[in-house]
Structure 1
Amino acid sequence: MKLVLKIVGGLIALLLLAALALGGWYLYQKQPVRSGTLAIQKLGAPVQVQFDERGVPHIRAENQADLYRALGYVHAQHRLFQMEMVRRLAKGELADILGPKLVEVDTLFRTLGIRAHAKATAAKMDMTTPANQALLAYLDGINQYQDTHRAPIEFDILGIPHQPFTPEDTLAVSGYLAYSFAAAFRTEPAMTFIRDKLGADYLRAFDINWHPEGVVTPLAQLTSRDWNSLNRIAAISQDAMDLAGVPLFEGSNAWAISGKRTASGKPLLAGDPHIGFSTPSVWYEAHLSAPDFELYGHFQALSPFALLGHNMDFGWSLTMFQNDDMDLIAEKTNPANPQQVWHNGQWVNLSTRSETISVKGAAPVQLALRGSPHGPIINDAFKDSLGDTPIAMWWTFLETENPALQAFYELNRADTRDKAREAASKIHAPGLNVVWANAKGDIGWWASAKLPQRPLGVNPTFILDAAKGEAEKPGFYAFVFNPQEENPARGYIMSANHQPQPSSGVPVPGYYNLPDRARRLDAVLSNPQTLWDTQAAQTLQLDTRNGYGHRVLQNLLPVMHAVVTDPNEKAFMEPLEKWDGNYSTDSIAATLFSQMLYELAKAAMEDELGEVQFKNLLNTRALDAALPLLMADPQSPWWDNKNTKAPESHFETVRIAWANTLKHLQGLYGTSLLDWRWGVTHTVTHGHPLGRQKPLHLLFNVGPFPAPGGRETPNNLSNPVGPAPWAVSYGPSTRRVIDFADASRAVGINPVGQSGVLFDTHYADQAQQYIAGAYVPQHLREDDVRAHTKSSLRFQPAP
């Protein structure tokens, strides 16, 4: 019997060892290859790839076609799943692998027309241009990797089929990147609802000019069913990125300082684009080198051209322009024919197209989508909440040529200010601020976008009335009228998503961020006593202060002193009274202030707006602007709770908000203020798409980490307005500093790591450094690359 047990035990042990061995071999086959020699089809000559201590590839080729083919190959072996997810999101094909819960997201993106637009544009592309030849080589590198290697583990888990990547995919992803108007889906319905349902007194808190007559009169035809439809679209537009795990551009900082203001005597460039956090991170770093070209670039999935980059001679960074490039338009339908709308003095037929969404584990979903002369009818796709009024979406991305690929191909090579300006002029949507510097001494900024001409007096913050001609656009302004500066006398240029002041006088409506971050940056940059160097730029990028708290508290604290009489509660107020606006991880005031902001907004506004509309408002920049104005206006009608018989004053509403603040925080963290520190309540987690499903979050997600910074601080680790605890939703997607006295000493950081391959060394090796505010070298010179090479991969032309 003992012998039998020993034999059985031995067999079980062998089976376990075999299972472990098979599991190890399975995972090993999924890992990137960073050493040895590999054969690639269509290479003209061997290509050398040296991987440094962070896994950044330094690719050296004899010609640019080989360079881009190799880039596609190494990019794919680190980020193939990311490439797959972003193309599926843009084209509305997520439900095919994730099931019915993604049908609404797919429906939204099909309705936007990104997939159809990409297909039509790809069919017209001239594939003989240098930029398109580079694109084809890059995509070929991706496809060669996919054809010859095991698929990533996520493909096995989700059952993703093998499909080649095409120019249509790249164009669709560029449409997704232009999806910077997600805020408009939330803001325009909310502002229109406040204007039309609540009135001018309520709109006053949002600092939007009220026009009771003329082109911005209320849209009387919108019904409650219309509002329900718009609310649902707003919620889906917010959920899309969360469900897909693909980050969206949100903001950014960038500045360029001329040599007369730097310690080195040469321009200094700093940039940190603010993008949603994810695993893997949005940027893939790569150093490209050929006899006629060199660039250290930050690349996005399926794009062969760096969106951020530098070499020894020049460099640039980006921020979101935040211009309003999308209008929602209420169409007037023909009472005798609902398939016609009023346009240019006559009834015109709506266009129609059909789409089929494949759904994993369910029947396909058929969509019948309509379009007006102004654009797609966005509420057609949601039949169960469809309102009575067709709402069209006019979008610059669909209405312009938008040669963004050509623009960045040229910007990657723009070694003079004139070349950089010309490249920037070809970016039509989304609107981007291009902040640029070179070793010759130039600095520049161009707000790059096609700015539409709108009828006089039209405020695109609201849903426009097609019947009154509000939606018509005679054309676009020339690029020369865009906001821009070159070599200003003050010696620096700063961009922080704030409202620009174009010298041309051309109106630039938009969904701009609060001015507080820009004011903080400008106050520091304008100090004439500072000679800027790399360390000073890093310190400013990591700054965690702004003046927003003071703007709110200067009117809030006097009211709190009047209504808070309990001695224990007064003790809890003390951190706010002494607060300097610093969102450091040990700040207690930052926690109190952030919770109080939410409770104020909820107590003042939810009763008028309702739960859904209030939730949408929480995700808009309009609310940030409103709260300081609300606190400064004790007569605002928002203070009264419409659900009670007796009218409330601002004193009573502030008292309720403060009581709810203490109740919520004490319920989470107890009564000791030391347990209310900002780093306890405010954390960052880099989420993977599969990490939304427990317990896979323990395997794929990275974090959480205590996070400094906050909404609209320079270190903009931002969270939505809402109740504690706060999960950081977006922040610096990289931090870069380049002094053009020696650009080979540029520094930066990746929020997570270079690789998106689970269990790879570089999956999350920079996450701790990032949150601690560290910077690492970005090697550019050949001797530095050689000294920091950890492994080498050689691509040989296949026989």
Structure 2
Amino acid sequence: MKALKKIGAFLLVVITLLIIVVGIFAYTLKPDYSGEKELADLQKEVTVYYDEYGIPHIYGESEKDAFRTLGYVHAQDRLWQMELLRRIASGGLSEVFGADLIGTDKFFLSLGIADASKVSATNADLSDAGVMLSKAYLDGINQFIKEGPTPVEFYLTGIEKKEFVLEDVYNTIGYMAFSFAMAHKTDPLLTTINTKLGAEYLNDLHVGSSTETEWIKNYNPSQSDSIQNNLTAAVNKALGALDIPLFEGSNSWVIAPEKTKNGKVILANDPHIGFAQPSVWYEAHIETPTYSKYGYHIAGIPFPLLGHNRKMAYGITMFENDDVDFYYEQNNPENDNQYLSENGYVDYEIITKTFKVKDSSDVEFTFKKSNHGPILNGIADQVQGERPIAMSWLYTQMENRVIDALFGLSHSNNLKEFKSALPKIHAPGLNIMYGDDEGNVAWFATAQLYKIPDSINTKLIFDVGEGLPVDKEFISFNENPQAINPPNNYVYSANNQPDSIAGMLYPGYYLPENRGKRIVQLLEPKNDWDLNAASEMITDVISSVDPQIVTNLSKYLDVSLLSENGLKAIDSLKMWTGDYELSSVEATIYNRWVYYFLENTFEDELDTELFDQLLSTHFTKRLIAPLSKDEESVWLDDVNTADVKETMADIVNTSFMEAVVSLEKDFGNNMDYWRWERVHSIEHPHPIGQIAALRSFFNVGPFPVNGTREVINNLAFSYDETGFYKTTSGPSTRRLIDFSDIENSISILPTGQSGNPFSKHYRDQAEMFVNGEFRKMMMNKAEIQKSKEILTFKPKD
């Protein structure tokens, strides 16, 4: 017994010492929010005041000093995120995570982002102000890499820290640009449907521009076979291989003084991006004698994509224009290394790439490139077949001036300066929203657009000798969709279809009118907007479309077929206002019904894999409303029942009864337990949180959450057979800028400012975000200087 006691005491001492060692180790990994540091090449002292949410307010005597400091403080909170984002486009994920990411690295290397980044960085003018500030920012990151603590993720993955260079900035921008695009997920799938089933089936998907939807109005006062299926799967796998944010959509509106209570502009913006931990934005407020900006930064990019100061504010949404095209190529029957061009058979460009793989030898692979772009067959294991498919993407084909554009936007102080920077953004397509203290409101669709004849369907893979020419006819930026101080006294964007562009409806992957319709519905009648009303609007969870879909479908229901719960459910749905509060039972019933309606409509013609891919596209969201009243749709008939032709009534009744049965199975017969909070949740995943034992440490959540896809509080998910909706994307921030009281403008992040799990700011905004709460974006210097955490940077001797 004494021996056991001694062993127990010894183990207790060992465990206590281990806890102390782990505690000390964890303490050394925390970011420093106070104290003094020396920073190389700093000209004068820079003071960083951290507010209660860990947001740095940087005061310096020069922009170079301030951006060098920004690089350091950004890295100490987000170095791991910077590391991952720069590795995606350059094929560096397998080195971190092993052989499972080989396909992803092959795919991104073949896109040519890394090659284009190298050219842009090599050709950069080192005397250019944007480049100089970028390099100062990178210097700050690199000093932290040399002298700061190593983030825990580097220990867990075993990779070494390496310095950042200008090329990395372009690689991060390139990944961001590709994640905006929807063509790579859509065009191959639509081509498969067209080839397999015919044009009639394609037409009934409602993928084209619509004359019935809610358009964003222009107002410019200055101008009154199986290969395709597998390709879609390959792209989905590449983009979904890690929990890294994908850019999905967004809302923004800017209200002119004529419609506000205090006679000043109010800007609202909530970009919709895939949820991940760390969250995508890093907030930083910089003040120098020549520069003032409260900005939202992406890891590894020096200039903010969202920002404001006392004179102006800007935000973004995704334009959703089509700048990716696919082409079939025809190989020379006598030489597979040649393809048919306008000048006869010519040689493919043969490109070889090599990348590292963790715990394995390097991978070398070769792919072909035509004048349209890389041949995707064989790059990912899923893409097999005889017909070569080339991908043409505008981003890698033009001079990249995005850094110049971001520098210009962030350094502008009025509408004229701001607008002059916009034509430098050739891709990705963005809606840029603007408001200022002079009362101007504006919306600009920024992208290099080009002429597309009506006879060309850009949503299909072009056959040999067809499609858009390599040398496109570009459209002047002045003809892009835009609105400057329109007579309705507001501008908005919800990724919905814009009005005509250069006399045509521009093809794109626009989201349904749901959010746009609700935004207009709320903005139009009200002329006394203030910050409180705008904050209620940005968290609105009412669908103006879903109750109409219920009306369309319910007229086909045969109530004699329904169970007791079925009758209660449809009676409740008919009274539904479209709200997605946590307590809503109707929201749960509606979404189950819609899933089974889609499954019973489409899965018989498609296989399970194609049906799942269909559910992941933007246009699926657009087709639900028109499909709900299209009783002649060719998709309604079940191709597996040769002797029976199913009707809309058959599909609607079967789907509704299946939905009720599945809810009873999951939650019992008492409908009070069918609440939205039981099926709709949010969790912010960290890449290392995929390891079950580490999930609770690295991931944030899960939480039940109100909202749904395509309401203003857009918390999106994909339908699947489970009937549970794990939110994958939504507001990456909610920002409200009120020029009548700029110092009390408000915002929120989904988790926290820091990506360091040992920081107190790793998850300190998560519950506020779920609850629809906000915090102040501090700009008053006297208030900021009251901070208890001050980090001073001094020139290094």
TM-score normalised according to structure 2 size = 0.95
Q: Which residue type is aligned with residue 516 of structure 1?
A: N
Does the Cα contact within 8 Å between 1:563 and 1:655 map onto a contact in 2?
A: no
Does the Cα contact within 8 Å between 1:112 and 1:376 map onto a contact in 2?
A: yes
Please give the per-residue CA displacement for 1:619-677, whole angstroms capped at 9, x wherever unaligned: 01221222222222223221222223332232222232223212322222222212211
Please, which runs of 5 or more residues in structure 1 have no aligned partner?
211-225
Alignment of 1:102-141 (within 5 A): 102-141=101-140
Matched, 1:590 2:587: yes
Q: 1:631: which partner in 2?
A: 628
Q: Which residue type is aligned with residue 30 of structure 2?
A: Q
Please give the per-residue CA displacement for 1:332-370, whole angstroms capped at 9, x wherever unaligned: 222232222222242221111111132112333221111
- The whole-number CA distance in structure 1 between the counterparts of 2:194 and 2:12 is 72
Alignment of 1:407-446 (within 5 A): 407-446=405-444
Does the Cα contact within 8 Å between 2:565 and 2:669 map onto a contact in 1?
A: no
Q: Secondary structure at the match of 2:435?
A: strand
Alignment of 1:502-517 (within 5 A): 502=500, 504-517=502-515
Q: 2:188: which partner in 1?
A: 189
State the Cα distance separating 1:208 from its structure 2 match.
4.7
- The whole-number CA distance in structure 2 between the counterparts of 1:267 and 1:124 is 40
Q: 2:297: which partner in 1?
A: 299
State the Cα distance separating 1:126 from its structure 2 match.
1.4
Name the count of aligned residue pairs.
780
- The whole-number CA distance in structure 2 between the counterparts of 1:487 and 1:583 is 33
Does the Cα contact within 8 Å between 2:231 and 2:382 map onto a contact in 1?
A: no
Q: 1:707: which partner in 2?
A: 705
Alignment of 1:477-488 (within 5 A): 477-488=475-486
Q: 1:150: which partner in 2?
A: 149
Deviates more, 1:176-185 or 1:144-153: 176-185
Q: Secondary structure at the match of 1:53?
A: coil
State the Cα distance separating 1:48 from its structure 2 match.
0.4
- The whole-number CA distance in structure 1 between the counterparts of 2:420 and 2:451 is 22
- The whole-number CA distance in structure 1 between the counterparts of 2:60 and 2:383 is 56
State the Cα distance separating 1:385 from its structure 2 match.
4.1
Alignment of 1:782-793 (within 5 A): 782-787=781-786, 789-793=787-791
State the Cα distance separating 1:182 from its structure 2 match.
4.8
Does the Cα contact within 8 Å between 1:739 and 1:746 map onto a contact in 2?
A: yes
Deviates more, 1:173-182 or 1:428-437: 173-182
Identity %: 36
Q: Secondary structure at the match of 1:264?
A: coil
Does the Cα contact within 8 Å between 1:50 and 1:793 map onto a contact in 2?
A: yes
- The whole-number CA distance in structure 2 between the counterparts of 1:173 and 1:133 is 18
Does the Cα contact within 8 Å between 1:65 and 1:137 map onto a contact in 2?
A: yes
Please give the per-residue CA displacement for 1:374-418, whole angstroms capped at 9, x wherever unaligned: 111122313564211111111110122131111011101111111
Q: 2:307: which partner in 1?
A: 309
Q: 1:220: which partner in 2?
A: none
Matched, 1:540 2:533: no
Does the Cα contact within 8 Å between 1:182 and 1:238 map onto a contact in 2?
A: no
Alignment of 1:59-98 (within 5 A): 59-98=58-97
Matched, 1:578 2:563: no
TM-score normalised according to structure 1 size = 0.95
- The whole-number CA distance in structure 2 between the counterparts of 1:172 and 1:71 is 20
Q: Which residue type is aligned with residue 400 of structure 1?
A: M
Q: 1:454: which partner in 2?
A: 452
Q: Secondary structure at the match of 2:743?
A: helix
Q: 1:659: which partner in 2?
A: 657
Q: Secondary structure at the match of 1:163?
A: coil
State the Cα distance separating 1:604 from its structure 2 match.
1.2
- The whole-number CA distance in structure 2 between the counterparts of 1:759 and 1:677 is 35
Deviates more, 1:562-571 or 1:675-684: 562-571
Does the Cα contact within 8 Å between 1:186 and 1:231 map onto a contact in 2?
A: no
State the Cα distance separating 1:469 from its structure 2 match.
4.7
Choose from 337, 341, 366 the match for 1:339.
337
Matched, 1:464 2:462: yes
State the Cα distance separating 1:23 from its structure 2 match.
0.3
Q: 1:265: which partner in 2?
A: 263
- The whole-number CA distance in structure 2 between the counterparts of 1:568 and 1:666 is 9
Deviates more, 1:414-423 or 1:466-475: 466-475
Choose from 280, 287, 290 the match for 1:289.
287
Could you say if the C-alpha distance between residues 110 and 592 of structure 1 is closer, same or farther in structure 2, counting changes exceeding 3 Å? same
Q: 1:215: which partner in 2?
A: none
Q: Which residue type is aligned with residue 113 of structure 1?
A: G
Choose from 371, 374, 386 the match for 1:373.
371
Q: Secondary structure at the match of 1:768?
A: helix
- The whole-number CA distance in structure 1 between the counterparts of 2:382 and 2:427 is 32
Q: Secondary structure at the match of 2:396?
A: helix
Matched, 1:255 2:253: yes
- The whole-number CA distance in structure 1 between the counterparts of 2:54 and 2:272 is 23
Q: Which residue type is aligned with residue 116 of structure 1?
A: D
Does the Cα contact within 8 Å between 1:107 and 1:381 map onto a contact in 2?
A: yes
Q: 1:566: which partner in 2?
A: 563
Choose from 551, 555, 568 the match for 1:554.
551
- The whole-number CA distance in structure 2 between the counterparts of 1:357 and 1:386 is 22
Choose from 339, 349, 362 the match for 2:360.
362
Could you say if the C-alpha distance between residues 366 and 268 of structure 1 is closer, same or farther in structure 2, counting changes exceeding 3 Å? same
Deviates more, 1:348-357 or 1:180-189: 180-189
- The whole-number CA distance in structure 2 between the counterparts of 1:380 and 1:455 is 32
Alignment of 1:759-770 (within 5 A): 759-770=758-769
Q: 1:673: which partner in 2?
A: 671
State the Cα distance separating 1:782 from its structure 2 match.
0.5
When the two chains are superposed, the root-mean-square deviation of aligned CA atoms in Å is 1.8
Q: 2:17: which partner in 1?
A: 18
Does the Cα contact within 8 Å between 2:541 and 2:579 map onto a contact in 1?
A: yes
Choose from 401, 408, 418 the match for 1:403.
401
- The whole-number CA distance in structure 2 between the counterparts of 1:127 and 1:196 is 51
Matched, 1:522 2:514: no
Q: Secondary structure at the match of 1:425?
A: helix
Deviates more, 1:51-60 or 1:654-663: 654-663
Q: 1:171: which partner in 2?
A: 170
Does the Cα contact within 8 Å between 2:98 and 2:357 map onto a contact in 1?
A: yes
Q: 2:780: which partner in 1?
A: 781
Deviates more, 1:110-119 or 1:502-511: 502-511
- The whole-number CA distance in structure 2 between the counterparts of 1:200 and 1:548 is 28
- The whole-number CA distance in structure 1 between the counterparts of 2:376 and 2:259 is 50
Please, which runs of 5 or more residues in structure 2 have no aligned partner?
210-224
- The whole-number CA distance in structure 2 between the counterparts of 1:693 and 1:102 is 16
Does the Cα contact within 8 Å between 2:181 and 2:322 map onto a contact in 1?
A: no
- The whole-number CA distance in structure 2 between the counterparts of 1:438 and 1:209 is 36
- The whole-number CA distance in structure 2 between the counterparts of 1:52 and 1:140 is 25
State the Cα distance separating 1:548 from its structure 2 match.
2.4
Does the Cα contact within 8 Å between 2:181 and 2:320 map onto a contact in 1?
A: no
Deviates more, 1:572-581 or 1:422-431: 572-581
Q: Secondary structure at the match of 1:695?
A: helix
Q: Which residue type is aligned with residue 671 of structure 2?
A: L
Q: 2:273: which partner in 1?
A: 275
Q: Secondary structure at the match of 1:415?
A: coil
Q: Secondary structure at the match of 2:610?
A: helix
Deviates more, 1:8-17 or 1:479-488: 8-17
Deviates more, 1:516-525 or 1:395-404: 395-404
Could you say if the C-alpha distance between residues 667 and 22 of structure 1 is closer, same or farther in structure 2, counting changes exceeding 3 Å? same
Query: Structure 1 segments of 4 or more deviating over 6 A?
Result: none
Please give the per-residue CA displacement for 1:207-261, whole angstroms capped at 9, x wherever unaligned: 2569xxxxxxxxxxxxxxx52x433332232233443221011111111111111
Q: 2:489: which partner in 1?
A: 491
Q: 2:693: which partner in 1?
A: 695
State the Cα distance separating 1:490 from its structure 2 match.
1.2
Q: Which residue type is aligned with residue 606 of structure 2?
A: L
Please give the per-residue CA displacement for 1:531-583, whole angstroms capped at 9, x wherever unaligned: 11111111110111122213322221011235734334212322222111111
- The whole-number CA distance in structure 1 between the counterparts of 2:517 and 2:208 is 24
Q: Which residue type is aligned with residue 406 of structure 1?
A: D
Could you say if the C-alpha distance between residues 6 and 204 of structure 1 is closer, same or farther in structure 2, counting changes exceeding 3 Å? closer
Choose from 313, 328, 332 the match for 1:330.
328
Q: Secondary structure at the match of 2:640?
A: coil
State the Cα distance separating 1:88 from its structure 2 match.
1.4
Q: Secondary structure at the match of 1:570?
A: helix
